[in-house]
Amino acid sequence: DYWGRGLVDQVIAKLPRALAAEGRALLTLSSLLSRERTVALLAEAGLAAEVVAWEVDDLPDDQRGAHIAQIQQLSDGHTLPVGDGEVLVTYLLEVRHG
């Protein structure tokens, strides 16, 4: 897990107990971690998530090629083709009890 899925999943597992009844948590993740998978795991934990902001970012120079291809092969994480290149989408999720 060299793209961060395990770390985010650990946070999701701890959030139901850590989050106050009326509390809100903010979670930032890129499209390489899959927003869809993250939202599904949050729902399984009894939490609801809403995208409150997003932006498109260029791929960092050190995250091109084989590394990205392997992440996309092993998961539903993805980049988006734009022009002659690819970009990441970064999401800000607001998480609360469902």
Integer Cα distance of 25 and 97 in angstroms: 10
User: Tokens standing for 6?
Assistant: 């395990």
Render pLDDT for 16-25 as a digit per residue (tens, 0 to 9): 999 999 999 9
Farthest CA pair distance, the chain: 46
Tell me whether residue 87 is exposed, middle or buried, using C-beta atoms within 10 angstroms of its C-beta: 0 to 12, 13 to 18, 19 or more.
middle
pLDDT in tens, 39-77: 999 999 999 999 999 999 888 766 566 778 788 888 778
What span, in angstroms and rounded, lies between the C-alpha atoms of 38 and 22?
A: 21
Q: Residue 19: exposed, middle, or buried by beta-carbon count in 10 A (0-12, 13-18, 19+)?
A: middle
> Which tens digit of pLDDT belongs to each residue from 71-98?
888 877 888 889 888 898 999 999 999 8
Provide the whole-model pTM. Answer: 0.81
